[in-house]
Amino acid sequence: MINVPTEDHSQPIAMPDYLIRHATLRQLQVFEAIVRHGNFTRASEELFLSQPTVSAQVKKLADAMGLPLFEQAGRRVKPTDAALELYEACRKIFDTLANLEIKIAEIKGIKRGRLRLCVVTTAKYIAPELLGEFSQTHQGVEVSLKVTNRDSVIDRIQVNEDDLYMMGQAPGDELQVEAYGFAPNPLVVMAPRDHPLVGRKKIPLSTIAQEPFILREPGSGIRDATLRKFSEAGLQLHIRMVLGSNEAIKHAVVGGLGLSALSLHTLALEGSDGPVAVLDVEGFPIQREWYLVHPKGKDLSPIARAFLEYAITSEPVIRERLEREWPGLIAAKPPAAKAKGRRPKSAVRRKA
Ligand code: PGA
């Protein structure tokens, strides 16, 4: 995708053909240094050129301009009016070229460099796959992935420790962030395959509240979303166990220790006919989204921008994969999530 300039560039601009043919950027550089220093000697020192070379460059430039650039004022030389005009033009030209160099360096930077991604515990079921696919087209990019729970992710955002954060719910008012929704993240109730509730339709939430339940640890986003769902219905869960790992919870579910609510992504490897079954519970799935987040106003590195754009454009593929395995469990983007998830204005997909 090409970042199309916003101004109308369909009209040709006036080309300084004569100067293009007769002046060089090197001459302009020498001239700019002389005027800035007010001194030929210092200009030659700055540019590591001999004084005769500096004088020769300025003479050629004056010939190209068709006007003298310096005049004698007592024992000193001073720039002519034409030279002062030329000096202003030089500053603009070099400013534009310096900006161009930065942009080119940024584009090159996508090929090499580091992407520091910090993700909530459950995002480990989606982040490595995305990173793997991204790395295939960005071979020189070194990736570091920190996996921790929601509370620690928020702590790390506060001190701007990583390039991007992946979370199941963007931080609220406690933090000023930009959040971009990029994939569905339904939370489902899980039971062992041989549980009597498996196969039942529209199980009331109150039935689940009576079952022994395994909950994620404090600080977990899944825990918060689950507790909120039950308390909104005026119900209290019968918590049998608290575990800090999705994998441990799945094993505990299979071992008959209780039911649990986890992200559907945690079943990515076992699929829909593994030892863990998804129950049809009223009010579930809780339709959530995955977000990529960064502190508001943060200048993303080109690699981080490229990854953000990559994740956003991967949404239909991730959605389709989930829908194929679990038809009917993935809703269209919820309106609230749509409003929160924005496209990164500055993120432009670039080929490596
Ligand atoms: P968690 O967050 O892994 O910290 O529970 C995941 C989520 O919010 O979906």
pLDDT in tens, 241-263: 999 999 999 999 999 999 999 99
Question: What is the model's pLDDT at position 13?
Answer: 73
| Ligand 1 neighbour 186 (Cβ under 6 A) | no
| Ligand 1 neighbour 185 (Cβ under 6 A) | yes
Residue 17 binned pLDDT confidence (cut-offs 50, 70, 90): confident
| Ligand 1 neighbour 246 (Cβ under 6 A) | no
- 253 C-alpha to center of ligand 1: Å? 18
Ligand 1 atom index nearest CA of 169:
8
Of residues 46 and 333, the one with the higher pLDDT is: 46
Query: Which of 8-12, 19-23, 264-268, 289-293 is predicted least confidently?
Result: 8-12
| Ligand 1 neighbour 222 (Cβ under 6 A) | yes
Rounded mean pLDDT, 139-167? 90
Is residue 56 scored above 90 in pLDDT?
yes
Residue 141 binned pLDDT confidence (cut-offs 50, 70, 90): confident
Question: What is the model's pLDDT at position 105?
Answer: 67
Question: What is the model's pLDDT at position 349?
Answer: 30
Question: What is the model's pLDDT at position 205?
Answer: 97
Question: What is the model's pLDDT at position 345?
Answer: 43
| Ligand 1 neighbour 122 (Cβ under 6 A) | yes
Q: Which residues, at least 6 apart from 82, have a Cβ–Cβ distance to it below 8 Å? A: 65, 67, 68, 69
Ligand 1 atom index nearest CA of 216:
5
Q: Which of 263, 264, 340 to mutate to test the pocket of ligand 1 (most atoms within 8 A of CB)?
A: 263
- 127 C-alpha to center of ligand 1: Å? 13
Structural tokens at position 169? 């719910």
Question: What is the model's pLDDT at position 199?
Answer: 95
Question: What is the model's pLDDT at position 5?
Answer: 55
Of all protein residues, the one whose alpha carbon is nearest to atom 2 of ligand 1 is 221
- 132 C-alpha to center of ligand 1: Å? 21
Of all protein residues, the one whose alpha carbon is nearest to atom 7 of ligand 1 is 168
